[in-house]
Amino acid sequence: MLKMDQQQAKEKIASLRELLNQYAHEYYVMDKPTVPDAEYDQKLQELQELEEQFPELITSDSPTQRVGGEPLEGFQKVQHSIPMLSLGNAFNEQDLRDFAKRVSQGTEKELTFVCELKIDGLAISLLYENGQFVRGATRGDGSTGEDITSNLRTIRSIPLSIKEKERIEVRGEAYMPHKSFLALNKVKEENGEEPFANPRNAAAGSLRQLDPKIAASRNLDVFLYGVGEWQAEELPSHSERLERLKELGFKTNPEWKKCQTIDEVLEYVAYWTNERPNLNYEIDGIVIKVDDLETQDELGFTAKSPRWAIAYKFPAEEVVTTLTDIELSV
């Protein structure tokens, strides 16, 4: 990047923020992106680098400091008692090695990582009280989400009752499988309507409809991968939480793997970069998390994301862009 003086940086930062805010609004609020994710990510990174050079120009409303988009009017708002955060990004091997180095410097303990597929859907929170599903919400801006309980109740893989009687909040991703996405866009096109840009936007658009019959007709599914409020018995690691969620009847993604070294993490990333077209749902990367929960606590959070996890993003050219490509892979 060219060296800039403070005035030039200020102008560049302002124009990047304006553009990124517009893209984020189109993506999160309208469910209708106008640019590819890789372009958004690249501009966000450019802004991040400028803010690192000129930290005095960072403001709390910068897209680098904010999670998601504002909740839609028309839905009841849900306050997340534990914020639903985003994840830091890694784009190459070096970023992943740097992540491993940072976390190992932050703890004395031996590290184990858990690698998971990064499901390209909509982050959701499911609250259970006395064994009953009582509230489902979107992430929204991380502190305030939308109450989409009646829409989530239409997804068959979400249990309406569970054996655990303590108040627990389970978090994960709602997504639209490729097959449902293709069928939906076919119908949309036949009706002369504009098709959805990708399965992620189709899932988000379906769950943020006021009429639950629409969500019910869209064949959505979920994978659960984490917890928020948890008044049940505490477990020592993320991997044991995943096992516990599965025992309770939640749908977890079966492809997660424990890795002892960053080289093993890189192997997992390489494997799924190849295998990605054979999945019947969209993934946009790999999430790597520190397994031990005490170490997670030691490492803590930034304003926007945990320090104990990172999202490796697949390169842009890997993105499945055409319907024909997707059709070939379902």
Residues that constitute the known binding site:
37-41, 86-87, 116, 139, 173, 289, 313
Q: Residue positions in the annotated binding site for NAD(+)?
A: 37-41, 86-87, 116, 139, 173, 289, 313
Nearer to ligand NAD, 40 or 308 (CB): 40
**Maximum Cα interatomic distance, the chain, rounded to a whole number of Å:** 61
Question: Residue 102 corresponds to which amino acid?
Answer: R
Residues 6+ apart with CB under 8 A from 289: 113, 114, 116, 238, 296, 308, 309
Is the distance from CB of 182 to CB of 323 less than 8 angstroms?
Answer: yes
Candidates 12, 13, 16, 40; binder of ligand NAD (CB under 6 A) is 40
d(CA 203, CA 215): 9
**Cβ closer to ligand NAD: 15 or 132?**
15
- The verdict on 27 binding ligand NAD (CB under 6 A) reads yes
Question: For residues 142 and 159, which CB has a smaller minimum distance to ligand NAD in the complex?
Answer: 142
> What is the smallest separation between the CB atom of 323 and ligand NAD, expressed in angstroms?
18
Please list the residues that pair with 201 across neighbouring strands: none
Q: Residues in contact with ligand NAD, total (CB under 6 A)?
A: 24
What span, in angstroms and rounded, lies between the C-alpha atoms of 68 and 66?
Answer: 7
Q: Tokens 């690698």 appear where?
A: 115
Binding-site string for ligand NAD from residue 47 to residue 86, where x marks contact by CB under 6 A and - marks none: --------------------xx-----------------x
Q: Which is nearer to ligand NAD, 169 or 284 (CB)?
A: 284
Cβ proximity to ligand NAD: between 83 and 212 the closer is 83
Q: Find the catalytic residue in 12, 118, 163, 186.
A: 118
Q: Are 125 and 207 in contact (CB under 8 A)?
A: no
Nearest distance in Å: CB 114, ligand NAD? 9
Continuous segment of H or E residues that includes residue 187: helix 178-190
Per-residue binding string, ligand NAD, 157-196, x by CB under 6 A, is ----------------x-----------------------
What are the beta bridge partners of residue 255?
none
Closest distance of CB 19 from ligand NAD, Å: 10
DSSP assignments along 66-118, one per residue: --S-PPPTTS-EEE-SS------EE-SHHHHHHHHHHHHHT-SSPP-EEEEEE
Annotated catalytic, 118?
Answer: yes
3-state percent helix, strand, coil for the chain, nearest multiple of 5: 40, 20, 40
* Binding residue (CB under 6 A) for ligand NAD from 311, 312, 314, 326: 311
Out of 13, 72, 123, 265, point to the residue binding ligand NAD (CB under 6 A): 123
State yes or no: residue 23 binds ligand NAD (CB under 6 A). Answer: yes
The distance from CA 134 to its chain's CA centroid, rounded to whole angstroms, is 23
Q: Are 173 and 123 in contact (CB under 8 A)?
A: yes
Q: What are phi and psi of 117, to 5 degrees?
A: -70, 140
If binding is defined by CB under 6 A, does position 37 make contact with ligand NAD? yes
Q: Which residues bind ligand NAD (CB under 6 A)?
A: 23-24, 26-27, 33, 35, 37, 40-41, 67-68, 86-87, 89, 116, 118-119, 123, 139, 173, 225, 284, 287, 311
Residues assigned a catalytic role = 118
